[in-house]
Chains A and B, each alone.
Chain A
């Protein structure tokens, strides 16, 4: 059975990497600010759910040409209210 490998062109890799990195660059948020945002979001979310600070991911991404803030975290247990 032939498995035809097409080497993924490095130009395509470059373009994808640039799109991702420029989305972050253009958001203008420093690493410090992103860290502060993450800490504040952790405070807010843990008022509603039990979560782990280290598992919380806050990221700026390129989704189909648009900038998006992505927040993702496993939920350990909803606090009983």
Chain B
């Protein structure tokens, strides 16, 4: 029986979709049966980050409204045969489905997968409530910036209210800026938000490149963000993986001259 994990944040643009795509891919790479579900109705993005945007026929709304069977809407990943995407609709809005329907869908699909990862929309309205309705637990993504942390706090409060356990992912951490005191550290963020830390992802330009190409960055084992996603996936599978102290990504010349 699978675990349903919602990836949420409150604030937009902090890395929910990237996180959902990469954790789904990493778990499938490890041999798990994984469904990545895009719950951001009207603003679909999980498909394009995973490079599957040309394969969509049916979507989440079709499935919920019983216009087609769930498995007809699933898109098998190009690279991993145990990874599936349930894309969302680009033409409806967040009110097209309700939390009860989402909960029922998750219950129906749970037995078929080891993990179902749900990409939540930003905000606290119906879209968020839909995304969390069927979840067993949540990963709250934040960056170490004031507005993201503030919104994450609100989201954590709502998750607690809905009895969805939450743990934190701090994304886009710059070791250099933390060192000079110009960015909050992961300890600062955890201290403020008071939830368990699931993982830390360093700032990495490779994320942009991977989005451009539709190849999740976790498949680039040279990338520091890919390695971080890999560690988080291993933790989700129950492995004890310590969170390393992040080093600044070394530029070509500093590597050449051994700094």
Question: Could you tell me which B residues sit within 8 Å of A by CB distance?
Answer: 145-146, 149-150, 153-154, 157, 178, 180-185, 188, 191-192
Contact = CB atoms under 8 A, between A and B. Distances in A.
Contacts of B181: 9-12
Chain B contact surface mostly: helix
B227 to A, nearest CB: 25
A15 B188 contact: yes
Chain A contact surface mostly: helix
Interface stretch (A17-25, A37-45, A49-57): A17-25
A47 to B, nearest CB: 36
Contacts of A10: 181-182
B192 A9 contact: no
Interface residues of A, number: 13
A18 B146 contact: yes
B154 A25 contact: yes
23 contacts: A9-B180, A9-B181, A9-B182, A10-B181, A10-B182, A11-B181, A11-B182, A11-B183, A11-B184, A11-B185, A14-B146, A15-B184, A17-B146, A18-B146, A18-B150, A18-B192, A21-B150, A22-B150, A22-B153, A25-B153, A25-B154, A26-B153, A26-B157
Residue from A12, A17, A22 having most chain B Cβ neighbours under 10 A: A22
Contacts of B183: 11
Contacts of B153: 22, 25-26
A12 B102 CA distance: 41
A12 B191 CA distance: 12
Given A10-B182, A17-B146, 19 more contacts: A9-B181, A9-B182, A10-B181, A11-B181, A11-B182, A11-B183, A11-B184, A14-B146, A14-B184, A15-B191, A18-B146, A18-B149, A21-B150, A22-B150, A22-B192, A25-B150, A25-B153, A25-B154, A26-B157
Residue from A9, A14, A19, A25 having most chain B Cβ neighbours under 10 A: A14
